[in-house]
């Protein structure tokens, strides 16, 4: 069966959509991400665009129903008219490109397609996401498409997402007029989706008003109970944060002092002043006083007491090593109970923040809180969560400080605070259990408490820029934080109850434009609750191998939700913690507890989920699956699963390529992009999977380069280059292969996907090279030049030039230890994943093994050497004559750099050597360019001139052609770019 193509199968304005997606990340108010933490959320801009383009047919497809074309034309005329008018009115949003608004008739179907894609790109803008013309137009288009494609009247197309998470995809489905069926294995996102897909469409503004109203009531009640724990200072100032440090006992001989573990001395950095902490040791008393200094002199600013988890005592100077430090925490449950209060931040009525040393009262209150929490109780469970918090290597490192229950993440006062709010919310929940709208309100307040909890743990830090409190889940991990800040929930500071209520209410308000409600269920994607052939579109963003341990992270919230609103959602919160077993996440390497969560287990679950997705999708439906895999091997595995699940891959769109947070900051980020893989069920019209179509390998191979040749220039026109373009080619390339149930060689032997993908990479590399050297004859360049050019091109979109990349973690106290990664100072150069590099190289007929002087392979990565590192190779013959011969021999690379440094140190190092010309011109054109670049960089202009003129190197046209191409490919601010441009600048002057 053939069906009219959807827009997403033929085109998508990915650059504009990506720009909107990136901008969306800075939206702080009304965005669903501010309703509650959930990890790895997809930008709404991308979801919205993708869903529209997946639901609407391409009007220029001959099979496109006329009814849709007519309706689309009418709507696009209206829309563009409207744009024109709003352009004319000066107060309107001046965002439209006038050229696009020339009156058009859209009689031409291609033009109509263009208008729809324009609309999609504009609609991706956050600012347009609630504007009625956009909403109405999109909903009318969705309805027209649904009807024209055979949907029953009075129904809407159903979009299914079985890995719904924070709910971006189903929310956008509802926004554009589809129905949504969302499910997730985890109860927390199920609840989030309930709010977004059910409560908000149903109760709208009223819900926001009630949340604010009840939020206030709950606050008053809690404030009454907790007032004595957050008293104002005698001068009327309100403490907004208490700054603490965990402590150890110094193991220095005869010392034994209690040492606060301090990483952060700087408390405030203002234009005119600073506030810092200073440790003042008292050797006789064996005590350490911590003083607060305002406007310190620079010699008064000392160092913290901890470096890489080793603690140095300010009294005796002894350093207790990391392992011993950790050893001291055994049985101390995180050590919040014997932490040291360092300072208190207050705010006066004129809003000035001040810092003071702790008083006896401050300490006494904490003792009272310790006592009080022992008296708390909750029905059927402990008031403070005692559910287990497991160790997950380099993710839940806080476990190493003896934290083994969730409640131990909190200071005594924080535990008291959260348990008190949970109790008050629970009482409201009990009395509103039977009233659906109150259930909605109280549920939202349960989420508000979670939001607050994120700021009230012993992992929240004081942030000196902005003088505020950071949250716990800035990272997708619970690392070791030595010094932390305890906020006042009633103060005017980040994480206060009022602010959390406001965030939640704003999300509700912002989304009240949703017209219809969606459905949400708790289910495993591997066993989908819907019957066969019920969805028009399967759009999903599954987990990615070991990137995020969702279920374990979610328990932080699960345990509080259980205690606050658990009785309103009994089915979701009846377990000890969230379900783990069926979760598709690789965790086996992090704790024996999860020995079964292997890589293979993950892949099996994904394969099952993809089959289920195909099963529930109608034969004429479409699938969009988001993948963000960083290795080509992971790509192969997932593509294999997609095809085995009975999908035909038809397109692939990289959108919003980015590094996913800093957490284990993507060891090699080069090929990390979020690719939307577009698929169609490989099914007969009755929904059965087609198994009978055999493809001929020769035909497939013949069609492949043609297809790539068609796509690549189109992508380049849109500015899609490098790794993005490679990924954008995967879809079209795979269509040729995956439309068959099996591709066979003449011998009858089946072709594996792996084998095919090798061909795809080669075809892509060749095509890309032709683009890179569009003005030059590519066949004239040697292997090293081809590889260098392709390598640099691949990285163009990936921003992976690690000389200025941000590989290093900023806080020294990050993670802790466990043999860490070393982090900092990576090698410089241009880094690609080894396997990707290998495939590119092979495709270009430039095998990596033959290019050892150009590329360094180490483990999983391959590095195109920076030109400076090639100095020795290129000038090496001069060794004996150069001053370098006297240097001790270190590693090769080191020598290369040393030689380079010598060269650039100035002519007086060794004038004779310096003014010599290059002893032996490089073998290849690339080598000779690099030699010229190095001479330029070292300011050896005479030598450069001799090299180019006397040696005749500059007479070779290929030299300048390649230099020109490299100038366009080297990253803008790189040394290489500067040098090659320097060489090019001499071309004319030297008479070439």
Ligand X SMILES: C[S@@+](CC[C@H](N)C(=O)[O-])C[C@H]1O[C@@H](n2cnc3c(N)ncnc32)[C@H](O)[C@@H]1O
**Closest to ligand X by CB, 545 or 960:** 545
Cβ–Cβ under 8 Å, residues 683 and 690: yes
Does residue number 835 form part of the binding site for ligand X (CB under 6 A)? no
Cβ–Cβ under 8 Å, residues 919 and 879: no
> Which region among 158-166, 712-720, 860-868, 956-964 touches ligand X (by CB under 6 A)?
158-166
3-state SS, one letter per residue, for 801-832: ECCCCCCCCCCCCCCCCCCCCCCCCCCCCEEE
> Using CA atoms, how far apart are residues 149 and 688, in angstroms rounded to an integer?
20
Give the interface with Zn ion as residue ranges (CB under 5 A).
250, 252, 255, 257, 313, 315-316, 318
Among 6, 42, 563, 629, binds ligand X (CB under 6 A): 42
**Closest to ligand X by CB, 38 or 503:** 38
252 binding partner (options Zn ion, ligand X, none; Cβ < 5 to 8 Å by kind): Zn ion
315 binding partner (options ligand X, Zn ion, none; Cβ < 5 to 8 Å by kind): Zn ion
Q: Whole-number minimum distance, CB 606 to ligand X, in Å?
A: 9
Q: Whole-number minimum distance, CB 10 to ligand X, in Å?
A: 25
550 binding partner (options Zn ion, ligand X, none; Cβ < 5 to 8 Å by kind): ligand X
Q: Whole-number minimum distance, CB 164 to ligand X, in Å?
A: 6
Among 65, 114, 157, 162, binds ligand X (CB under 6 A): 162
> Using CA atoms, how far apart are residues 437 and 298, in angstroms rounded to an integer?
59
162 binding partner (options ligand X, Zn ion, none; Cβ < 5 to 8 Å by kind): ligand X
383 binding partner (options ligand X, Zn ion, none; Cβ < 5 to 8 Å by kind): none
> Using CA atoms, how far apart are residues 43 and 21, in angstroms rounded to an integer?
5
3-state SS, one letter per residue, for 325-390: HHHHCCCCCCCCCCCEEEEEEEECCCCCEEEECCCHHHHHHHHHHHHHHCCCCECCECCCCCCECC
Among 125, 143, 168, 924, binds ligand X (CB under 6 A): 168
Q: Whole-number minimum distance, CB 644 to ligand X, in Å?
A: 18
> Using CA atoms, how far apart are residues 536 and 113, in angstroms rounded to an integer?
21
Assign 569 to helix, strand or coil: coil
**Closest to ligand X by CB, 408 or 524:** 524
Q: In what order do the strands lie in the sheet with 617-627?
A: 519-522, 179-184, 158-161, 535-540, 617-627, 675-681, 647-654
**Closest to ligand X by CB, 523 or 720:** 523
Q: Which of residues 768-787 bind ligand X (CB under 6 A)?
A: none
Among 4, 13, 165, 187, binds ligand X (CB under 6 A): 165
3-state SS, one letter per residue, for 826-851: CCCCEEEEHHHHHHHHHHCCCCHHHH
Query: 156 is written with which tokens?
Result: 């809407």
Q: Whole-number minimum distance, CB 547 to ligand X, in Å?
A: 8
Structural element, H or E, at residue 312? strand 310-312
629 binding partner (options Zn ion, ligand X, none; Cβ < 5 to 8 Å by kind): none
Cα Rg of the chain, angstroms? 32
Q: Whole-number minimum distance, CB 168 to ligand X, in Å?
A: 3
> Using CA atoms, how far apart are residues 175 and 132, in angstroms rounded to an integer?
11
Among 80, 128, 186, 611, binds ligand X (CB under 6 A): 186
Q: Whole-number minimum distance, CB 358 to Zn ion, in Å?
A: 22
185 binding partner (options ligand X, Zn ion, none; Cβ < 5 to 8 Å by kind): ligand X
3-state SS, one letter per residue, for 490-515: CCCCCCCHHHHHHHHHHHHHHCCCCC
> Using CA atoms, how far apart are residues 635 and 627, in angstroms rounded to an integer?
8
> Which region among 479-487, 563-571, 579-587, 667-675 touches ligand X (by CB under 6 A)?
579-587
- Residues near 596 by Cβ (< 8 Å), separated by ≥ 6? 588
Q: Whole-number minimum distance, CB 526 to ligand X, in Å?
A: 5
963 binding partner (options ligand X, Zn ion, none; Cβ < 5 to 8 Å by kind): none
Q: Whole-number minimum distance, CB 583 to ligand X, in Å?
A: 4
> Using CA atoms, how far apart are residues 935 and 930, in angstroms rounded to an integer?
9
313 binding partner (options Zn ion, ligand X, none; Cβ < 5 to 8 Å by kind): Zn ion
Does residue number 605 form part of the binding site for ligand X (CB under 6 A)? yes
Phi-psi region of 474 (alpha: psi -120 to 50; beta: other; left: phi over 0): alpha
Closest residue by beta carbon to ligand X:
165
316 binding partner (options ligand X, Zn ion, none; Cβ < 5 to 8 Å by kind): Zn ion
> How many residues touch ligand X (CB under 6 A)?
25
763 binding partner (options Zn ion, ligand X, none; Cβ < 5 to 8 Å by kind): none
Does residue number 358 form part of the binding site for ligand X (CB under 6 A)? no
Structural element, H or E, at residue 204? helix 200-226
486 binding partner (options ligand X, Zn ion, none; Cβ < 5 to 8 Å by kind): none
Cα→Cα distances 450→155, 336, 562, 796, Å: 37, 21, 11, 41
Q: Which of residues 188-217 bind ligand X (CB under 6 A)?
A: 189
Among 8, 37, 38, 467, binds ligand X (CB under 6 A): 38
Does residue number 184 form part of the binding site for ligand X (CB under 6 A)? yes
What ranges make up the beta strands (E) of 475-597?
483-487, 519-522, 535-540
Q: Whole-number minimum distance, CB 55 to ligand X, in Å?
A: 18
Q: Are strands 306-307 and 310-312 parallel, antiparallel or unpaired?
A: antiparallel
Q: Which of residues 582-601 bind ligand X (CB under 6 A)?
A: 582-584
163 binding partner (options ligand X, Zn ion, none; Cβ < 5 to 8 Å by kind): ligand X
Does residue number 166 form part of the binding site for ligand X (CB under 6 A)? yes
Render the burial of 447-472: b for 16+ CB within 10 Å, e for the rest.
Answer: bbbbbbbbbbbbbbbbbbeebbbbbb
Q: Which of residues 506-565 bind ligand X (CB under 6 A)?
A: 524-526, 541-543, 550
- Residues near 309 by Cβ (< 8 Å), separated by ≥ 6? 322, 325, 326, 480, 813, 816, 817
Query: 302 is written with which tokens?
Result: 């000392």
Does residue number 922 form part of the binding site for ligand X (CB under 6 A)? no
Q: Whole-number minimum distance, CB 352 to Zn ion, in Å?
A: 37
> Which region among 139-147, 200-208, 439-447, 577-585 touches ligand X (by CB under 6 A)?
577-585
Does residue number 21 form part of the binding site for ligand X (CB under 6 A)? no
> Using CA atoms, how far apart are residues 408 and 150, in angstroms rounded to an integer?
57
Phi-psi region of 254 (alpha: psi -120 to 50; beta: other; left: phi over 0): left
Does residue number 185 form part of the binding site for ligand X (CB under 6 A)? yes
HSE-CB for 391 with a 13 A CA cutoff: 12
Cβ–Cβ under 8 Å, residues 528 and 613: yes
255 binding partner (options Zn ion, ligand X, none; Cβ < 5 to 8 Å by kind): Zn ion
Does residue number 169 form part of the binding site for ligand X (CB under 6 A)? yes
Q: Whole-number minimum distance, CB 316 to Zn ion, in Å?
A: 3
**Closest to ligand X by CB, 239 or 654:** 654
Q: Whole-number minimum distance, CB 26 to ligand X, in Å?
A: 17
> Which region among 36-44, 417-425, 862-870, 907-915 touches ligand X (by CB under 6 A)?
36-44
Query: 984 is written with which tokens?
Result: 């090019």
Query: CA angle, 641 as apex, 640 and 645 as ends, to 5°?
Result: 120
> Using CA atoms, how far apart are residues 271 and 952, in angstroms rounded to an integer?
59
**Closest to ligand X by CB, 3 or 602:** 602
> Which region among 7-15, 37-45, 877-885, 961-969 touches ligand X (by CB under 6 A)?
37-45
Does residue number 446 form part of the binding site for ligand X (CB under 6 A)? no
Residues at the interface with ligand X (CB under 6 A):
38, 40-42, 162-163, 165-166, 168-169, 184-186, 189, 524-526, 541-543, 550, 582-584, 605
């Amino acid at each position: 069966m053939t069906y009219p193509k959807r827009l997403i199968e033929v085109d998508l304005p990915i650059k504009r959509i990506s720009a909107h997606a990136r901008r969306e990340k800075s939206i702080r108010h009304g965005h669903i991400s501010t309703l509650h933490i959930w990890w790895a959320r997809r930008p709404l801009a991308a979801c919205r665009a993708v869903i529209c383009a997946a639901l609407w047919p391409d009007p220029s497809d001959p099979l496109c129903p006329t009814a849709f074309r007519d309706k689309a034309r009418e709507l696009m005329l209206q829309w563009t008219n409207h744009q024109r008018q709003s352009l004319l009115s000066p107060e309107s949003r001046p965002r439209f490109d006038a050229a696009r608004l020339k009156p058009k008739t859209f009689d031409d179907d291609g033009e109509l397609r263009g208008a729809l894609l324009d609309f999609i790109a504009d609609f991706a803008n956050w600012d347009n996401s609630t504007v009625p013309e956009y909403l109405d137009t999109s909903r009318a288009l969705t309805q027209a498409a649904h009807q024209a494609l055979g949907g029953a009247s009075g129904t809407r197309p159903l979009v299914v997402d079985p890995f719904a998470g924070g709910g971006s995809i189903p929310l956008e489905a509802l926004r554009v007029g589809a129905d949504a069926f969302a499910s997730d294995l985890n109860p927390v996102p199920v609840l989030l989706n309930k709010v977004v897909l059910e409560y908000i469409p149903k109760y709208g503004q009223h819900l926001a008003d009630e949340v604010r109203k009840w939020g206030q009531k709950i606050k008053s009640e809690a404030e009454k109970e907790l007032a004595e724990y957050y008293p104002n200072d005698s001068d009327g100032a309100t403490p907004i944060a208490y700054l603490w440090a965990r402590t150890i006992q110094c193991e220095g001989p005869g010392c034994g002092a209690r040492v606060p573990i301090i990483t952060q001395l700087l408390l405030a950095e203002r234009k005119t002043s600073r506030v810092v902490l200073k440790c003042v040791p008292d050797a006789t008393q064996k005590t350490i006083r911590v003083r607060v200094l305002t406007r310190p002199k620079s010699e008064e600013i000392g160092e913290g007491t901890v470096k890489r988890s080793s603690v140095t005592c300010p009294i005796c100077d002894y350093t207790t090593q990391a392992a011993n430090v950790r050893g001291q925490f055994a049985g101390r449950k995180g050590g919040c109970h014997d932490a040291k209060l360092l300072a208190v931040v207050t705010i006066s009525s004129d809003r000035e923040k001040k810092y003071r040393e702790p008083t006896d009262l401050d300490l006494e209150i904490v003792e009272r809180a310790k006592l009080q929490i022992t008296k708390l109780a909750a029905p059927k469970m402990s008031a403070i969560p005692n559910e287990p918090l497991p160790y997950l290597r380099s993710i839940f490192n806080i476990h190493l400080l003896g934290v083994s229950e969730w409640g131990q993440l909190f200071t005594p006062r924080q535990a008291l605070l959260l348990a008190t709010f949970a109790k008050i919310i629970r009482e409201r929940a009990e009395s509103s259990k039977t009233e659906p709208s109150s259930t909605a309100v109280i549920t939202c307040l349960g989420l508000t408490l979670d939001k607050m909890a994120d700021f009230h743990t012993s992992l929240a830090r004081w942030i000196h820029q902005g003088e505020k409190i950071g949250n716990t889940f800035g990272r997708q991990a619970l690392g070791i934080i030595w010094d932390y800040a305890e906020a006042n929930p009633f103060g005017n500071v980040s994480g206060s109850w009022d602010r959390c209520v406001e965030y939640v209410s704003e999300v509700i308000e912002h989304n009240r434009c949703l017209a219809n409600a969606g459905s949400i269920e708790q289910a495993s994607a591997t066993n989908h609750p819907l019957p066969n052939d019920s969805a028009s579109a399967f759009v999903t963003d599954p987990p990615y191998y070991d990137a995020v341990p969702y279920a374990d992270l979610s328990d932080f919230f699960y345990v509080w939700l259980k205690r606050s609103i658990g009785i309103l959602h009994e089915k979701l919160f009846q377990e000890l913690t969230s379900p783990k077993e069926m979760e598709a996440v690789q965790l086996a390497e992090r704790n024996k507890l999860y020995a079964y969560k292997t890589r293979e287990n993950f892949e099996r679950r994904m394969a099952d989920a993809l089959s289920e997705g195909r099963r529930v999708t109608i034969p004429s439906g479409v699938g969009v699956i988001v993948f963000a895999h960083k290795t080509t091997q992971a790509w192969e595995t997932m593509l294999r699963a997609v095809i085995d699940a009975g999908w035909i891959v038809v397109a692939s769109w990289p959108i919003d390529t980015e590094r996913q947070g800093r957490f284990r900051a993507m060891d090699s980020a080069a090929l990390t992009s979020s690719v939307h893989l577009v698929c169609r069920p490989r099914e007969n019209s009755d929904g059965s999977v087609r198994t009978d179509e055999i493809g001929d390998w020769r035909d497939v191979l013949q069609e492949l380069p043609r297809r790539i040749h068609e796509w690549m220039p189109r992508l380049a026109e849109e500015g899609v280059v490098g790794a993005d373009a490679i990924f954008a080619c995967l879809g079209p390339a795979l269509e040729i292969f995956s439309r068959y149930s099996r591709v066979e060689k003449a011998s009858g032997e089946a072709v594996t996907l792996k084998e095919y993908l090798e061909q795809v990479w080669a075809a892509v590399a060749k095509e890309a090279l032709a683009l890179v050297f569009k003005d030059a004859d590519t066949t004239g360049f040697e292997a090293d030049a081809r590889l260098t050019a392709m390598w640099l091109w691949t990285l163009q979109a990936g921003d992976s030039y690690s000389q200025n990349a941000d590989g290093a973690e900023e806080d020294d106290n990050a993670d802790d230890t466990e043999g860490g990664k070393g982090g900092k100072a990576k090698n410089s150069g241009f880094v690609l994943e080894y396997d990707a590099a290998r495939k590119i190289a092979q495709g270009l007929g430039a095998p990596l093994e033959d290019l050892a002087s150009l590329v360094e392979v180490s483990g999983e990565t391959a590095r195109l050497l920076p030109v400076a590192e090639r100095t020795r190779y290129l000038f090496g013959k001069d060794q004996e004559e150069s001053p370098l011969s006297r240097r001790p021999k270190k590693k090769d690379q080191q020598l290369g750099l040393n030689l380079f440094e010598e060269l650039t140190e100035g002519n007086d190092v060794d004038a004779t050597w310096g003014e010599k010309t290059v002893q032996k011109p490089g073998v290849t054109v690339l080598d000779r360019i690099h030699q010229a670049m190095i001479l330029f960089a070292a300011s050896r202009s005479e030598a450069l001139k001799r090299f180019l003129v006397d040696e005749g190197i500059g007479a070779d046209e290929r030299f300048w052609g390649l230099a020109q191409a490299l100038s366009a490919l080297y990253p803008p601010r790189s040394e290489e770019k500067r040098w090659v441009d320097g060489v090019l600048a001499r071309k004319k002057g030297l008479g070439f």
